[in-house]
Structure formats: structure tokens, C-alpha cells
């Protein structure tokens, strides 16, 4: 049986890198992986970790999800080499603080361009081939921020909410019309360079230009909430990568996957109250949990 051809975005580090390696190193050789990244100058870690799978079951390509020509070039190249694309994993994205109104509209649009429109662009690029072959898997890496928005990360949360809505809308149509399965993966904090970068700058430095009220709320509440999240990180990028493999191999994959039992409970909690007023107490609850440690 021929290996499945997999296209992954955002593979320079973190979940994308881990997923590319887990699939490429599969002992049963079930995957041919095209691991992509915005800038090939960032490929050294992936090349090093790939070992003897490089250019055998793992191929590195340059793809910027905000630029249609690079997406088309990679997709056309894969189809020319392999004749099909079986799996797309939309992983590329980044997280950064916007603090409600502290960033320009251009900054917010740039984040949406990568985190949401990047998913749409890449999905649309592979769909003609998947429709023609009447099969395919699309895995969109969202976040629990797409289920329960994170205070002070409004644009990031909005982008993930958009990914969730896009995925939920296209999933039944693609399944019933073309046998293409769409799944959403909703991790919480994961031990990656991205997460370390978000928390790497001292909170006082991040809040130095905030107005007094905003700074006080941020430092007294969000600082504790984010620190608590950092302390509670138990998942590795490899765990998410293995879940991606399970989804690909599943005969009937779910639409949504939370990556831990606690995250599943958090998702269920949101649905218990249609008003979702309890979310307004999120900062207070986080402070209580932090104080109890």
C-alpha cells in the first residue's frame, strides 16, 4: 500500500516539527511528509532531527501561508511528485498579546492573515486534488482559546474562533460530498518555543505602556493566570503529534479533539450555560486557583 502524502504547515518548531517527525519516522512507513515553513533559514532543527528520513520520507519545502504563490508552488510540486495529497495539517500560526486596544489594526490584521486566512488559503489550495480523488483528511490546529477566549489575547482568540467556525461549516459538506474528513485539534498550553516566547518577556515589561487601570488588571490577574497555565503545562509537542497520527488513521475521526481530559471538561463547562456569564469570572477563578497552589 502506497504511503499517504501529508502536507504540514509551520514545521520550523513546536507541534509542526514534532508532527512531521512522528509521521516521517513511522515504523510502518505509512506516510510521505512534506514539512513546510515560512523561511527555510529555520530548517536546521528539523533537518537535524530528521536523520536518515530526510529526503526519503520527509521533504522540507518553503511555504508562507500569507502568500498564495508559495502555497500554489508547493501544492503543485507535491502533486507533480506524488500525484495526490491525502492529508493537510494546518498548523502554522503565532500567539501574541494585544491587550484589547494596545495594538494597531494593521497588527491585528497581520495575525488574522496568518492564523485564520492562512488556514483558508491552504485548505482551498488542496481541495481540488482531494475532491478529484474523492478522499482526504484536513486537520486544523486550533486552541482552547478558540473555545474559551483568553483575556488580553483578543485577536489570537478571535482567529482561533474563526478557524473553529470555518472548520465546522465545511466539515459536513466535504464529508458527505467528497469523503474528505475535517477535524479540529484544541490543545491547551504545550511545551513549545512559541509558548516560551509568549511568557519569556517579564509581565511588567509587557505592561509598561498600558494605562494604569489596564496595567493593574493585567499584573494582578493575567500574570497569575498565565503563570498558573505555565505551571500546569503537562503536554509535549510529541503528544499532540501522536494525536494527529491517530486522527489520520481513524476510520471515522471526530470533528473536535481536546487534547487532555481537563480540556474536555473545560469545553463541556462552556456549553452548560447558554449565557456563558461564568466566563466573566475567568480571571477571578484563575486567581483563586493560583492562590491555592
CB 33 within 8 A of CB 58: yes
- Cα–Cα distance for residue pair 82/61, rounded to 1 Å: 14
Answer yes or no: 156 catalytic: yes
CA-closest candidate to residue 10, choices 160, 114, 153? 114
| Annotated catalytic residue within 156, 178, 257, 290 | 156
Rg of the chain over Cα atoms, rounded to whole angstroms, equals 19
- Cα–Cα distance for residue pair 58/39, rounded to 1 Å: 17
What are the helix and strand counts (H, E) for the chain? 13, 9
* CA atoms within a 13 Å half-sphere pointing along the CA-CB vector of 86: 14
Active-site residue list: 156
Amino acid at each position: 500500500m502506497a504511503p499517504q502524502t501529508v502536507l504540514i504547515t509551520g514545521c520550523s518548531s513546536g507541534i509542526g516539527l514534532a508532527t512531521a517527525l512522528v509521521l516521517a519516522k513511522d515504523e510502518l512507513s505509512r506516510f510521505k511528509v512534506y514539512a513546510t515553513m515560512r523561511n527555510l533559514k529555520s530548517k536546521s532543527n528539523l533537518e537535524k532531527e530528521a536523520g536518515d528520513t530526510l529526503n526519503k520520507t520527509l521533504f522540507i519545502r518553503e511555504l508562507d501561508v500569507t502568500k498564495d504563490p508559495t502555497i500554489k508552488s508547493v501544492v503543485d510540486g507535491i502533486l507533480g511528485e506524488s500525484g495526490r495529497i491525502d492529508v493537510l495539517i494546518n498548523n502554522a500560526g503565532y500567539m501574541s498579546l494585544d491587550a484589547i486596544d494596545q495594538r494597531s489594526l494593521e497588527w491585528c490584521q497581520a495575525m488574522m492573515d496568518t492564523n485564520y486566512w492562512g488556514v483558508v488559503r491552504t485548505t482551498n489550495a488542496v481541495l481540488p486534488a482531494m475532491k478529484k480523488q474523492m478522499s482526504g483528511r484536513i486537520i486544523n490546529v486550533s486552541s482552547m482559546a478558540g473555545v474559551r477566549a483568553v483575556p488580553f489575547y483578543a485577536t489570537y482568540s478571535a482567529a482561533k474562533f474563526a478557524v473553529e467556525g470555518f472548520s465546522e461549516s465545511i466539515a459536513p459538506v466535504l464529508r458527505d460530498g467528497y469523503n474528505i474528513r475535517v477535524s479540529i485539534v484544541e490543545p491547551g498550553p504545550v511545551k513549545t518555543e512559541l509558548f516560551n516566547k509568549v511568557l519569556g518577556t517579564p509581565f511588567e515589561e509587557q505592561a509598561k505602556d498600558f494605562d494604569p487601570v489596564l496595567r493593574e488588571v493585567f499584573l494582578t490577574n493575567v500574570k497569575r493566570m498565565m503563570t498558573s497555565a505555565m505551571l500546569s503545562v503537562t503536554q509535549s509537542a510529541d503528544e499532540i503529534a501522536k494525536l494527529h497520527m491517530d486522527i489520520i488513521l481513524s476510520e471515522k475521526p471526530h470533528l473536535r479533539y481536546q487534547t487532555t481530559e481537563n480540556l474536555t471538561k473545560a469545553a463541556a463547562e462552556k456549553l452548560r450555560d447558554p449565557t456563558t456569564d461564568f466566563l466573566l469570572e475567568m480571571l477571578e477563578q484563575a486567581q483563586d486557583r493560583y492562590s491555592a497552589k
